[in-house]
């Protein structure tokens, strides 16, 4: 089946620094990828839709200058949390759509900002 | 506005029993209804999915029942096992990205 690899699985960073999270589709091409945020014991909240070769579409209330998304190739999308603060600490999950298997999710990245 | 309503929030089932989780939706443009299983610290994994032209789909111990007129769909886990203990999310997609229910935390006890 389709595999989406997400790295790193966890990261701790100091307040004010930036963190990049990578999402790769390993065995299929993904023109569209999605980034979600999940708080403890809550559902997945869509942050943005990442389109290869074009600007991402952000959901209402998501700061596009804080959460920079780049989808430079058909197999890679990155999410950069800029000037991270403790309130940005969360579980970030990417997803890619494969025409055969539907939506496949990465294993998630636990971000802790101290 | 919650587009997919999921219940119950939590569920405790005896080993070998049937776990039932329900979801309801309003948007008639939805055309794809997947269920995901998520373990702590991991991303969601697709369990089973259904399209509205089918009323039931079974894969192993997992069955989706779909009622288009009632705009409801449910997940049945037969012969529930302790390893099934996880959070389950229903979801739906139409002309929008996937929208998720709030999740059901399932505990299967021996």
Q: Phi-psi region for residue B73, left (φ > 0), alpha (ψ -120 to 50) or beta?
A: beta
Strand partners, A91: A38, A110
Minimal-distance CA residue of chain B relative to A90: B41
The tokens describing A18, both together, are: 């930036």
Q: Helix or strand or coil: residue A88?
A: helix
Does the distance separating the beta carbons of A95 and B49 come in below 8 Å? no
Does the distance separating the beta carbons of A106 and B42 come in below 8 Å? no
Q: How confident is the model at residue A101 (pLDDT cuts 50, 70, 90)?
A: low
Span B54-110, pLDDT tens digits: 999 999 999 999 999 999 999 999 999 999 999 999 999 987 789 999 999 999 999
Span B10-27, pLDDT tens digits: 999 999 999 999 999 999
CA distance B64 to B82: 20
* pLDDT at position A56 over 90: yes
């Amino acid at each position: 089946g389709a595999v989406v690899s997400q790295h790193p699985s966890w990261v701790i960073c100091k307040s004010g620094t930036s963190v990049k999270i990578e999402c790769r589709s390993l065995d299929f091409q993904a023109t569209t990828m999605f980034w979600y945020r999940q708080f403890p014991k809550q559902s997945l909240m869509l942050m943005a839709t990442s389109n290869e070769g074009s600007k991402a579409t952000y959901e209402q209330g998501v700061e596009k200058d804080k959460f920079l998304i780049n989808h430079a190739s058909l197999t890679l999308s990155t999410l950069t949390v800029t000037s991270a603060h403790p309130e940005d600490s969360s579980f970030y999950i990417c997803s890619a759509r494969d025409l055969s298997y539907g939506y496949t999710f990465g294993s998630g990245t636990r971000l802790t900002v101290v | 506005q919650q587009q997919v309503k999921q219940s119950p929030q939590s569920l405790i089932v005896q080993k070998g029993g049937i776990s039932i989780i329900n979801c309801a939706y309003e948007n008639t443009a939805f055309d794809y209804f997947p269920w995901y299983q998520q373990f702590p610290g991991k991303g969601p994994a697709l369990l089973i999915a259904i399209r509205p032209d089918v009323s039931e789909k079974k894969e192993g111990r997992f069955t989706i029942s779909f009622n288009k007129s009632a705009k409801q769909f449910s997940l049945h886990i037969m012969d529930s096992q302790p390893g099934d203990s996880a959070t389950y999310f229903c979801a739906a997609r139409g002309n929008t990205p996937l929208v998720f229910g709030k999740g059901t935390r399932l505990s299967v006890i021996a």
